[in-house]
C-alpha cells in the first residue's frame, strides 16, 4: 500500500494515499506501516484525508499500528473524512486516538511549524 512518509522535526507524518483501508488491503497497510516506523523514535501522525472508506478490518489495522508503536510513541490521526469519523465514533475508537482536523493542526500541537 502506498503510504508516503515525511519527517517534520520529531514527528513522522504518514500520508495514506489510497482512498480506502478495507479488508482487501488491511494486511498491506500493517506491513507498510511497520516498515516505515521501524527506525523512528518519535510520535507518528497518520494523515487520512484521502481515505473515504474505512471498514472494521481497516480500523483493526489502524489499532494494530497503534499497538506496534508501544507505550513510548504516540499515534495521532488527522484529516478524518465524514465516513471515517463515523466509523471511529460508532466503535468509540475516537476516544483512543488523539484526532486533529488537519495535518497543520497536528504539527502545531507538537510545536512544529506546518510550513516546510
Q: Are 74 and 109 in contact (CB under 8 A)?
A: no
Long-range contacts of 84-90 (CB under 8 A, 24+ apart): 84/48, 84/51, 84/52, 84/53, 84/54, 87/54, 87/55, 87/56, 87/59, 88/54, 88/59
Is position 96 an interface residue for another protein (rule: CB under 8 A)? yes
Binding mask 35-54 for another protein (x = CB under 8 A): ------------------x-
Q: Answer yes or no whether residue 3 interacts with another protein by CB under 8 A.
A: no
Answer yes or no whether residue 1 interacts with another protein by CB under 8 A: no
If binding is defined by CB under 8 A, does position 34 make contact with another protein? no
Residues in touch with another protein (CB under 8 A): 20, 22-24, 53, 55-57, 59-61, 63-64, 66-67, 71, 82-83, 86-87, 90-93, 95-96
Amino acid at each position: 500500500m502506498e503510504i508516503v512518509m515525511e519527517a517534520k522535526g520529531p514527528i513522522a507524518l504518514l500520508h495514506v494515499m489510497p482512498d480506502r483501508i478495507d479488508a482487501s488491503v488491511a494486511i498491506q497497510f500493517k506491513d507498510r506501516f511497520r516498515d516505515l516506523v521501524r527506525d523512528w523514535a518519535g510520535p507518528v501522525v497518520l494523515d487520512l484525508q484521502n481515505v473515504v472508506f474505512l471498514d472494521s478490518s481497516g480500523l483493526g489495522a489502524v489499532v494494530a499500528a497503534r499497538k506496534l508503536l508501544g507505550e513510548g510513541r504516540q499515534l495521532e490521526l488527522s484529516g478524518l473524512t465524514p465516513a471515517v469519523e463515523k466509523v471511529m465514533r460508532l466503535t468509540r475508537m475516537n476516544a483512543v486516538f488523539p484526532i486533529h482536523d488537519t495535518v497543520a493542526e497536528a504539527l502545531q500541537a507538537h510545536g512544529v511549524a506546518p510550513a516546510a
